[in-house]
Structure 1
Amino acid sequence: MEIRNLYQPFELELLKIDNYENREHRNTFFEMVFVLEGEGTQMINNHKLPYASNKLFLIFPQDIHGFEVTTTTSFFFLRFNDSYLKTQPKEWIQKLELIFNNHNHLPGCILKNVSDKALIRALVEALIRENANPQFQQQEVIKQLINTIIIIASRNILLMPPTVTDKSKTDYSIQLLSYIHQNIYDPALLKSERIAERFNVSPKYISTFFKIHIGQTLQDYIITYKIKLIETRLRYTDMQINEIVYELGFSDSSHLNRLFKKYNGISPSEYKKMMDEKQTSF
């Protein structure tokens, strides 16, 4: 089964598909899916339920899920991981943890307030417009819209009956990825031996768990995550390559350049120039 990872705090995607069956897969992050138009079936953890426009679905890390599309469907995906949640105020995080722990992991729309469906649609459409047109303080506006969607979703989840489920594997995956995200700037703490010591398991278990539940080796995940951090800095800050080298623990700028080009096909300077040109074209 395919395992999908997210190497940045959040990600937005608009997808329009026609008569397509999305294979079941697992994520290592949280995902909200809003249906702008279309009909089909949502599948999650061996349960199925029809979907239609103005439905909002919440998918947890390690949930097995997919969609069967019967009529042309426009999906909007909002993906975020623990590193995004940790940037929010402590009270907000605690409230979300309480709400998420009560979610039943069953298929179906999580919006129980009818009036919230129109509100979520308006916020999603605003996100799509904002994301398509880079401009001053774009990231701040996007984050505010995302937070509002999450808060509205959370108040609807509170109206759902709580269900106790076995989330040990999900929790362990989140804890493991959270440790990596928090210590990404300290290479010594990212060695398999140190991670194994932190979680009181053997290094071999860490390697095996990563391959099975994350779909990558530990080293591949760390490298891919660092590449995404580099892209973010090149795109949204004025940091120099030498500063990024020091921040992310690379041996030198040549090491960073080689790795970046291996994954993206272009050098960091070429990537930054391309992003700057794209920004000024709007």
Structure 2
Amino acid sequence: MKRYTQFNRLIVDDFTTDVWEHPLHNHNHYEVIFIRSGSGIHHLNNSLVPYHAGHLYLLGPEDEHEFIIEEPTNFVYFKFTKLYFDTFDGENPAVWNQHIDKLLSKKWSRKRNLLKNKEDINIVDDLFKLIVTEYERNALLSKKLVNHHFKAILLVLNRNGPNCDKKQKRRADSDITEALLEYIELNIYDPKSVSQKEIARYFHYSPNYIGILFKKNIGTSLKKYIQDYRYNLLKQRLKHGHQSTKQLSLDFGFTDESHLHKFVKTQSGKSLISLKKELVPEMIL
């Protein structure tokens, strides 16, 4: 299988074609692919997924794909490396890398279109038009405008989960469980905020009741769910990123590097170095 290597932090491409010239491949960067018009099949991670106008896909470096075009298709590609968010002074790249982590960590995001809401499709289409215009113009502040428009797209994607269009009544305990999961997702990088005591305080329940309710509806303890979630996000960052152990410790809210090493050992039974070798066998440590 072919692998494409990108050295620029960002490439934006807007093109229409009726012939896909790239064989099944993966790459060393991330790709947000928006289908402005046309239809066909997206061969993505061993699945054949029909695509249509308004579909959007987010691919990480380990994802493999190709398009089988049935009708001439207008693609907009936003291809960026993990260093892209480091480009702008005064920004906090960790926050936006976390948005990418969360989107890629969701099982439903790996084989399907991420845009479901019709109004959001129009918003994303307009944002990509602005991105392409500024990218090609390359004038004063164009790069910063492109960055702001792209971050707006990420925020739109975060509200297009699998249940975004469902309107149904839920039992009170189901409502609080959904709120708990959302709270954990928003605060997972801050260990103090996701302690059982702090979660209970936030939702005005006792720590014991929160633990019992979570175990009843999710099937696992609150503590284990949070640890597993953090560990899976950390593994994903190790696969895709090139941050130092110190930076990873800061991003994930560990008190120091030794705490990070201990966490990995507890979760996996492996050292951090061994885990890196397992996830990225070709890397030189």
| TM-score, structure 1 as length reference | 0.57
**Aligned 8 A contact 1:62 1:170 in 2:** no
Cα 1:154/1:11, change in 2 over 3 Å: farther
2:53 partner letter = S
Is 1:149 the counterpart of 2:149 in the alignment? Answer: no
- For residues 64 and 152 of structure 2, the distance between their equivalents in structure 1, rounded to whole angstroms, comes to 26
Q: Which moved more, 1:8-17 or 1:47-56?
A: 8-17
**1:123, distance to aligned residue in structure 2 (A):** 0.8
For the structure 1 residues 169 and 210, does the alpha-carbon distance in structure 2 shift closer, same or farther, using more than 3 Å as the test? farther
Distance between the aligned counterparts of 1:104 and 1:33, measured in 2? Answer: 16
Encode CA deviations 1:83-112: one digit per residue, 9 max, x unaligned. Answer: 224553544444543343224344331112
The match for 1:15 is 15
CA shift digits 1:128-173 (9 cap, x unpaired): 122222322111111111111122122224747x9x9x99986543
Which AA in structure 2 matches 1:69?
A: I
Identity %: 19
Q: Distance in 2 between matches of 1:14 and 1:83?
A: 22
Q: What is the root-mean-square deviation in Å for CA atoms of aligned residues?
A: 3.7
Q: TM-score, normalised by structure 2?
A: 0.56
1:54 aligns with 2:58: no
2-side partners of 1:20 and 1:95: how far apart? 30
> In the alignment, what sits opposite 2:178?
none
| Alpha-carbon distance in 2 for matches of 1:14, 1:108 | 21
Distance across 2 between alignment mates of 1:167 and 1:137: 33
Contiguous gaps of at least 5 residues in structure 1:
183-197, 212-217, 219-282
Q: Which amino acid aligns with 1:109?
A: N
Distance 1:167 1:97, change over 3 A: closer
Distance change (3 Å), C-alpha of 1:94 and 1:107 = closer
Equivalent pairs counted in the alignment come to 192
The equivalent residue for 1:173 is 239
Amino acid corresponding to residue 15 of structure 2 in structure 1: L
Q: Unaligned regions of 5+ residues in structure 2, if any? A: 165-180, 182-228, 248-270
Secondary structure, aligned partner of 2:83: helix
- Are the counterparts in 2 of residues 21 and 69 from structure 1 also a CA contact under 8 Å? no
Q: 2:62 is aligned with what amino acid? A: Q
- In the alignment, is residue 200 of structure 1 matched against residue 273 of structure 2? yes
Query: C-alpha separation between the residues in 1 aligned to 2:97 and 2:21?
Result: 35
Question: Cα deviations across residues 54-90 of structure 1 (Å, max 9, x unaligned)?
Answer: 1111112201111111121111001122222455354
Change (3 A) 1:169 1:110: same
